[in-house]
Homo-oligomer: A and B are copies of this chain.
Amino acid sequence: MRALSAGKIVAKGDILTRAGDAANCCSVLLEGFAARSKLASDGEVQHISFLLPGDMCDLDSFLLVPIDSSVVALSAGRVAQLPHEAFRRLLVQHPRLALSFWRETMVDASIAREWVLNVGRRTALQRIAHVLCETYVRLRAVGLTKSLCFDFPLSQQDLADATGLSVVHVNRMLQRLKRNGLATLNMGKVSISNWPGLQETGDFDQGYLYARAMAAAA
């Protein structure tokens, strides 16, 4: 697995893909956190989904030009890059691979749909709880949790951008989650104290994550 120790180093805040550009390669996040995000006209940021180690960052760029959303590093990390040309050859040689990447795109879309529901119809507390649940399940699937804890090096501003809330309100909701004995976020680490309770609070059902979560069950 020499490839895994290679890859380009990225710093917190780096833009891996800029909305409006035509990328010439697809990348895989090897380490660290990133987010796909869009900008409103007033400059407000909205994260559309978190990208965790193992996720393709910009599969869309292969068929959609220009790209509609940016990918930004939320922590230091590492990415592997695969030029579109090489990717195309790979797909021609292994047609079944196309199906599995197509499916990857569908799971991505499914996550985006859940996020529409999250920001559209859930309360502030539910949104935060939901995002924590999703992140926990996805990290568990790639072995990045220990018991009910995981590294979560994002600022409260990032959580606000993911949930469509203000930083101040995110702060208060995190305090409420702690006070309710559900979960705490401290020093870049999340610790879940009551997993069933957190899921219920966040109206979370992992079905929409498909294989990404199933891998954990296996």
A1 contacts partner chain B, Cβ-Cβ < 8 Å: no
Q: Could you tell me the distance between the alpha carbons of A116 and B69 in the complex, rounded to whole angstroms?
A: 12
A66 contacts partner chain B, Cβ-Cβ < 8 Å: yes
Stretch at the interface among A5-13, A22-30, A36-44, A182-190: A36-44
A14–chain B nearest beta-carbon distance, Å: 20
A173 contacts partner chain B, Cβ-Cβ < 8 Å: no
A98 contacts partner chain B, Cβ-Cβ < 8 Å: yes
Cross-chain contact A203 with B41 (CB below 8 angstroms):
yes
Cross-chain contact A64 with B112 (CB below 8 angstroms):
no
Cross-chain contact B40 with A102 (CB below 8 angstroms):
no
The contact size tier of chain A is 35 or more
Provided the pairs A64-B107, A207-B68 are in contact, do residues A119 and B122 lie with their beta carbons within 8 angstroms?
no
A67–chain B nearest beta-carbon distance, Å: 9
Complex contacts, A98 vs chain B, CB 8 Å = 95, 98-99, 102
Cross-chain contact B68 with A116 (CB below 8 angstroms):
no
Say how many copies of this protein the assembly contains. 2
Complex contacts, A82 vs chain B, CB 8 Å = none
Q: Could you tell me the distance between the alpha carbons of A208 and B46 in the complex, rounded to whole angstroms?
A: 15
Q: Could you tell me the distance between the alpha carbons of A108 and B210 in the complex, rounded to whole angstroms?
A: 18
Classify the secondary structure of A's interface with B: helix
A60 contacts partner chain B, Cβ-Cβ < 8 Å: yes
Cross-chain contact A103 with B38 (CB below 8 angstroms):
no
A197–chain B nearest beta-carbon distance, Å: 14
Interface string of A61-72 (1 = CB under 8 A from B): 001101011000
Q: Could you tell me the distance between the alpha carbons of A163 and B112 in the complex, rounded to whole angstroms?
A: 15
A156 contacts partner chain B, Cβ-Cβ < 8 Å: no
Complex contacts, A115 vs chain B, CB 8 Å = 116
Cross-chain contact B107 with A105 (CB below 8 angstroms):
no
Cross-chain contact A122 with B40 (CB below 8 angstroms):
yes
A99–chain B nearest beta-carbon distance, Å: 7
A121 contacts partner chain B, Cβ-Cβ < 8 Å: yes
Partner of A103, one of B20, B63, B109: B63
Partner of A60, one of B66, B110, B203: B110
Chain B residue with Cβ nearest A112 = B112
